[in-house]
Amino acid sequence: MYGGFLGAIGGVIGGVLDFNAASEQAKKKRPLLAYAYFARTTSSFAITALTLGMAISGSGPYLRMLMTRTSNKVALTMLSTVEVLATRLATEQLLRMMRAGLARFAWVGLIVTGVIWLLEPEVIESWCEKSVFRKLKKNKAFKGVAEELIELETAFNKIIGE
């Protein structure tokens, strides 16, 4: 159960980062890339919810053991509520649906990641967007010529594979 919660936290963080990337790409007038990031955001949140559901569905015996060991009424109420949810999620039909959904959304996330990789601007394009040659002068520029030249050299090194 703890692993499920830890995975859910990671999934939420990844989804939020993808949502921010989608917003950033929309501002840069790259609608295909923005849609791809938004699709991956949706996929991340769906995978997170399904993974959390799977983790909770298997935690019924553990929750019942915790309920026998606690005397705190608030903790007992919370544990019994989660145990009822775990029992409902542990039905065979729901487990099959969650597993199938998890597999499908994982493939969607993988495919969308490939699309993002193909649509993502090259390093030299990223450099151009911040250089003195940028199209939109209101975009954030390099702090100075020295930083611009260092970043240009870094971009060239990434292109030739050093």
pLDDT at 162: 52
Go through the chain and tell me how many residues it has: 162
Q: How many CB atoms lie within 10 A of CB 149?
A: 12
Tell whether the model's pLDDT for residue 148 goes beyond 90.
no
Segment 101-121 shows an average pLDDT of: 89
Q: Could you give the percent of the chain with pLDDT greater than 70?
A: 95
Segment 47-51 shows an average pLDDT of: 93
Tell me the whole-structure pTM to 2 decimals: 0.71
The CA distance from 65 to 150, in Å, is 60
Structure tokens at 86: 């775990």
Please write the tens of the pLDDT for every residue from 22-37.
999 999 888 999 999 9
8 A C-beta contact, residue 38 and residue 15: no
pLDDT at 42: 95
Q: How many CB atoms lie within 10 A of CB 120?
A: 16
Please write the tens of the pLDDT for every residue from 66-99.
999 988 999 999 999 999 999 999 899 999 999 9
Please write the tens of the pLDDT for every residue from 116-129.
888 877 777 777 77
Contacts of 134 (CB under 8 A, 6+ apart): 128, 141
